[in-house]
């Protein structure tokens, strides 16, 4: 409270002053208000322009569609078509009701204690989290390979962590073509982290992270000859994976975060309004109150309703009409997905409070200021393994800025990433939506499949920031192949590709007000709310929630729905589907599209009001001043240090002239990679194969190889000329020099595929080693190939 009053006093003092350097004083105050007005105007103009463009496009589409419908109605057999359509509609109504009944029954089964997941793969429990020293409602299961699929027990294991955002687990293995499918068909032992509906009493995020670390240790025990396991996290499972890797850096392998919001404040004005909701619903105060009203449990249906609010057309119309329209084929997919979407899971007050205060509202994880407990600070810069981020421009829940903004917040530049020995890779999809990242078959075939195949060699990559560029090469359908390259990027270039990032100040203000509101609630209102709540009132509130009520009313628990099953069976026996060219069918689809457009208009208006009201409330200059204390990131708050003074950099530079054959070859490969500014996966795989099968690399421990690559990256980055001049000392004999050049040519080749930059660098290396340059008439080429 004392800090809050201090912030208030400083903010209003700054507002009232007429001089000094305050951003809201004198001329600065006038400029701040002008910018405030411009921002509000920009938001309305952006949303208005988008709405107009949508209206023009839909008007054109509707005109063309109506012409087709009108022509189809001009037929002499209209009465016959009407009878066929009426019969079909009546039958579809029965089948639609039966599908809703199935959905309702799955919901009732879940609410009554079923812990079934939507995993479509056979699996067995390996570790039951309730039996751990710090019990949690999580378990580790192993995917049982289907018939005909062979898994190598010494292959790199994969552990997939699904989001716990109100739903259940299993979406990462929802279909055959999925993350699970990509891993297990690659011959990898595959594990999945599941969780049950109710948390263990008093469970915290620190307990969950400790349990996931135990899961990783058990997997390593089961596969002692394998490399460290890959950790794949989906959405909120992504930040859980990063928490795990940052607090247990020595046990995890590469971390893949798919659609994972790691920087909640990041984004672009005029787009993706979900990040504004925390400032309009009371921040941490609201989740505290909901947890108390739930008698010590937070109902995940509140999170699911937030997701549904983002797309009212899909929530209230489109998904139901798609079921109605394709009732003969759509039922299994609809019911299967709704079984996951409508299974609501609970959290403890401690869990949801940590998530809101450190992620949703406080954004502490992305700013390097989160702590799992009083003794456990979380710094994502402590992750030792490669990090692969998969984001999409079509994702309205986790846009690219939120998936990658933490890199800009934590690092002063790529040089710092290299100095810390980290490898951060990202790939951006142009259009797939949030759930499509996890369940789309095309994404599973392309992005997930290529990530899995690339991870075999990813640790041979030198430290830095890379874009993983995936391009279609040849073939069609399941035979399609892709080319993958890793292009070096700067943080500025990466954020430009994401679409830019606007000011964090309004969000910092929300975070400060959230802290103040939570303190006031804890002191003044919490005892009163807890005193009025009991288990009966909590169950009444949960059961009367519209998310639950609509499913319960459609289940067999409702006597009116019990005859529907028998009716549906009769309809299936006498089904008379109307063909697509029926004029009334076309008219129906035309009108359905109009309803979708109406709901999209509601969405556009809602988005505009959410963003405009957020900025109206929290971006005003005197209000924004309250967030100054929280608005700085690690990259901004810590003094910009000379990275050359870091211990690891100095240690590397002190060893420029030291090392032997292995160090020299790695240094040469780094020179080649820097000359191209990108690395193809095929070359990376050849480099990795050399490190695993060629002496003296093969006998090294993986950690030794990683440190050697890091050391040589620093040397080449900070002292390239001295590094080149020292190569003859590392490769003293003519035999070593010829062998080193042959290895580099083998990895960079074949020669006809080498770029001009690669050929030039090969010649520079040859001249530095006093060997024959690599030219078209080079007589030494055959000797090097033989070597």
Tens-place pLDDT, residues 280-319: 887 889 999 999 999 999 999 999 998 888 889 999 999 9
In angstroms, rounded to a whole number, what is the distance separating the alpha carbons of residues 561 and 733? Answer: 86
β-sheet bridge partners, residue 142: 124, 191
The pLDDT of residue 44: 86
Give the burial class of 231: count Cβ atoms within 10 A of its Cβ; 0-12 exposed, 13-18 middle, 19 or more buried.
buried
Spatial distance between the Cα atoms of 742 and 740, rounded to a whole number of angstroms: 5
Of 91-105, 269-283, 682-696, 759-773, which has the strongest mean pLDDT? 91-105
Domain boundary among 501, 516, 549: 501
Helix%, strand%, coil% for the chain, nearest 5 = 60, 10, 30
The CA dihedral of 157, 158, 159, 165, to the nearest 10 degrees, is: 180
More confident residue, 440 or 468: 468
pLDDT at position 440, please? 60
pLDDT digit string, tens, across residues 131-159 = 999 999 999 999 998 888 888 988 889 99
Is the peptide bond prior to 686 cis by the omega test (within 30 degrees of 0)? Answer: no
Helix (H) or strand (E) holding 312: helix 312-313
**Residue 734, pLDDT score:** 87
Query: Phi and psi for 678 in degrees, rounded to 5?
Result: -160, 160
In the chain, count H helices and then E strands.
Answer: 35, 15
pLDDT of residue 108: 92
Alpha helices in 523-563, H assignment, sequence order: 526-532, 535-543, 546-553
Number of domains in the chain: 2
- Percentage of the residues of the chain whose pLDDT score is greater than 70: 88
CA neighbor of 406 nearest in space, from 421, 420, 387, 419: 387
Structure tokens that stand for 257 in this block: 């975060």
Distance separating alpha carbons of residues 710 and 666, to the nearest angstrom: 10
For 637-709, list the strands marked E by DSSP: 678-680
| In a domain? residue 279 | no
3-state SS string for 50-79: HHHHHHHHHHHHHHHHHHHHHHHHCCCCHH
Torsion angle of C-alpha atoms 90, 91, 95, 97, degrees rounded to 10: 20
Q: Does residue 53 lie in a domain region?
A: no
Q: What is the 3-state secondary structure of 315-382?
A: HHHHHHHHHHHCHHHHHHHHHHHHHHHCCCCEECHHHHHHHHHHHHCCCCCCCCCEEEECCEEECHHH
| DSSP structural state of residue 447 | I
Q: What is the CATH number of the domain that holds 242?
A: 3.40.50.1820
* pLDDT score, position 638: 58
The model's pLDDT over 114-124, given as tens digits with 9 standing for 90+, comes to 777 777 788 89
DSSP β-ladder status, 190-195 and 387-392: unpaired
The pLDDT-based confidence of 450 (bands split at 50, 70, 90) is: low
Model pTM score: 0.85
The strand pair at 158-161 and 230-234 is best described as: parallel
Query: Pick from 501, 532, 566: which residue ends a domain?
Result: 501
More confident residue, 753 or 349: 349
Q: Which of the listed residues 501, 525, 548 is the one where a domain comes to its end?
A: 501
Give the per-residue pLDDT at 126.
95
* In the predicted structure, residue 22 carries a pLDDT above the cut 50: no
User: In percent, how much of the chain has pLDDT > 90?
Assistant: 35
Radius of gyration of the chain (CA): 30
Q: What integer best gives the mean pLDDT of the chain? A: 84
For helices 301-310 and 546-553, the axis angle rounded to 10 degrees is 90
- Residue 130 lies inside a defined structural domain of this protein: yes
Question: At residue 758, what are phi and psi to the nearest 5 degrees?
Answer: -65, -45
Q: What is the pLDDT of residues 370-404, one digit of tens each?
A: 999 888 899 999 998 899 998 888 888 889 999 99
* pLDDT value of position 309: 87
Q: What is the DSSP string of 733-752?
A: SHHHHHHHHHHHHHHH--GG
- Is residue 680 in some structural domain? yes
Q: Is residue 252 part of a domain?
A: yes
Cis ω before 696 (30° cut-off from 0): yes
Q: Would you state the pLDDT for residue 446?
A: 59
Split at pLDDT 50, 70, 90, the class of 644 is confident
pLDDT in tens, 31-62: 778 888 888 888 888 888 888 888 777 777 77
Cβ-count burial 400-425 (b if 16+ within 10 Å, e if not):
bbbbbbbbbbbbbbbbbbbbbbbbbb
Domain that holds residue 721: 643-786
- What tens digit of pLDDT does each residue of 708-751 get? 888 888 898 888 899 998 898 898 888 888 888 888 888 887 77
The neighbouring-strand residues paired with 376 are 373
Beta pairing, strands 481-488 & 464-474? antiparallel
**pLDDT tier for residue 28 given thresholds of 50, 70 and 90:** low
pLDDT tens string 415-448? 889 888 899 999 888 888 777 776 665 554 556 5
Q: Phi, psi at residue 503, to the nearest 5°? A: -65, 140
- Residue 177 is predicted with a pLDDT of 64
Confidence check: pLDDT of 178 > 90: no
Confidence of residue 89 (pLDDT cuts 50, 70, 90): very high
Domain assignment present for 23: no
What's the rounded mean pLDDT across residues 507-520?
90
Distance CA(458)–CA(591), nearest Å, equals 51
Question: Can you give the pLDDT at residue 755?
Answer: 79
Q: Report which of residues 124 and 18 the model is more confident about.
A: 124
Give, in order, the Cα–Cα distances in Å from 534 to each of 446, 549, 667, 679, 756. 50, 21, 67, 61, 74
Q: Does some domain include residue 767?
A: yes
Average confidence (pLDDT) over 178-200 = 87
Per the domain annotation, does 755 fall within a domain?
A: yes
The enclosing H or E element of 117 equals none
What pLDDT, on a 0 to 100 scale, did the predictor assign at position 622? 82
- Give me the residue label for tokens 């999409």: 392
């Amino acid at each position: 409270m004392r800090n809050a009053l201090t912030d208030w006093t400083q903010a209003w003092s700054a507002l009232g002053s007429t001089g000094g350097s305050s951003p809201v004083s004198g001329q600065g105050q006038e400029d701040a208000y002008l910018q405030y007005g411009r921002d509000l105007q920009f938001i309305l103009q952006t949303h208005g322009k988008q709405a107009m463009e949508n209206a023009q496009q839909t008007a054109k589409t509707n005109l063309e569609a109506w012409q087709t419908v009108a022509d189809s109605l001009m037929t002499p057999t209209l009465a016959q078509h009407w009878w066929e359509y009426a019969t079909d509609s009546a039958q579809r109504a029965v089948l639609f009701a039966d599908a809703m009944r199935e959905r309702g029954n799955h919901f009732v089964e879940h609410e009554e204690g079923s812990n079934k997941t939507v995993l479509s793969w056979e699996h067995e429990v390996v570790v039951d989290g309730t039996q751990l020293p710090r019990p949690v409602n999580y378990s580790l299961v192993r995917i049982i390979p289907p018939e005909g699929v062979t898994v190598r027990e010494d292959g790199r294991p994969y552990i997939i962590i699904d989001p716990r955002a109100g739903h259940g687990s299993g979406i990462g293995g929802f279909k055959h073509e999925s993350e699970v499918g990509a891993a297990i068909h690659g011959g990898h032992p595959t594990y999945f982290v599941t969780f049950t509906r109710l948390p263990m009493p008093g469970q915290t995020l620190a307990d969950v992270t400790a349990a996931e670390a135990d899961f990783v240790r058990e997997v390593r025990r089961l596969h002692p000859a394998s490399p460290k396991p890959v950790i794949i996290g989906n959405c909120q499972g992504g930040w859980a994976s990063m928490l795990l890797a940052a607090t247990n850096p020595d046990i995890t392998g590469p971390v893949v975060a798919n659609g994972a919001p790691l920087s909640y404040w990041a984004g672009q004005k005029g787009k993706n309004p979900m990040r504004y909701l925390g400032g309009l619903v009371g921040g941490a105060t609201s989740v505290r109150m909901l947890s108390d009203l739930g008698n010590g449990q937070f109902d995940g249906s509140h999170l699911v309703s937030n997701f549904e609010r983002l797309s009212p057309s899909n929530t209230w119309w489109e998904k139901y009409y798609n079921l109605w329209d394709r009732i003969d084929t759509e039922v299994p997919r609809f019911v299967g997905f709704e079984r996951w979407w409508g299974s609501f899971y609970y959290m403890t007050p401690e869990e949801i409070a940590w998530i809101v205060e450190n992620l949703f509202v406080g954004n502490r994880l992305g700013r390097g200021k989160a702590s799992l407990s009083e003794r456990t600070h979380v710094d994502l810069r402590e992750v030792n393994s490669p990090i692969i981020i998969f984001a999409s421009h079509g994702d309205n829940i986790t846009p690219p800025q939120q998936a990658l903004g933490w890199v800009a917040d934590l690092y002063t530049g790529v040089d710092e990433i290299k100095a810390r020995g980290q490898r951060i890779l990202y790939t951006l999809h142009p259009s797939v939506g949030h759930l499509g990242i996890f369940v789309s078959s095309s994404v599973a075939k392309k992005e997930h499949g290529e990530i899995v195949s690339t991870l075999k060699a990813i640790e041979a990559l030198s430290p830095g920031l890379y874009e993983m560029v995936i391009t279609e090469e040849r073939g069609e359908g399941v035979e399609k192949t892709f080319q993958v390259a890793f292009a070096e990027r700067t943080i500025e270039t990466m954020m430009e590709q994401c679409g830019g990032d606007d000011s964090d100040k309004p969000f910092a203000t929300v975070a400060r007000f959230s802290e103040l509101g939570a303190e006031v609630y804890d002191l003044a209102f919490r005892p009163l709310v807890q005193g009025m709540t009991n288990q009966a009132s909590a169950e009444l509130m949960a059961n009367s929630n519209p998310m639950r009520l609509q499913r319960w009313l459609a289940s067999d628990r409702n006597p009116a729905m019990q005859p529907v099953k028998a009716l549906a069976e009769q309809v299936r026996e006498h089904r008379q589907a109307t063909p697509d060219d029926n004029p009334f069918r076309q008219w129906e689809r035309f009108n359905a599209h109009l309803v979708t457009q109406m709901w999209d208009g509601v969405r556009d208006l809602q988005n505009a009001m959410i963003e405009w009201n957020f900025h109206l409330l929290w971006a005003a200059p005197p209000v924004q001043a309250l967030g100054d204390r929280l608005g700085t990131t690690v990259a901004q708050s810590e003094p910009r240090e000379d990275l050359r003074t870091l211990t690891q950099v100095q240690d590397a530079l002190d060893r420029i002239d030291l090392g032997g054959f292995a160090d020299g070859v790695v240094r040469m490969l780094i020179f080649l990679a820097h000359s191209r500014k990108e690395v193809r996966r095929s070359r990376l795989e050849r480099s990795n194969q050399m490190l695993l099968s060629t002496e003296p690399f093969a006998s090294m421990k993986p950690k030794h190889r990683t440190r050697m690559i890091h050391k040589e990256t620093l040397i080449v980055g900070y002292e390239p000329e001295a590094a080149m001049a020292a190569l003859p000392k590392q490769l003293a004999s003519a035999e070593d020099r010829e062998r080193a050049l042959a290895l580099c040519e083998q990895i960079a080749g074949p020669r006809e595929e080498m770029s001009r930059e690669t050929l030039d660098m090969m010649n520079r290396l040859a001249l530095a080693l006093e060997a024959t340059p690599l030219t078209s008439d080079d007589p030494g080429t055959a000797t090097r190939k033989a070597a």
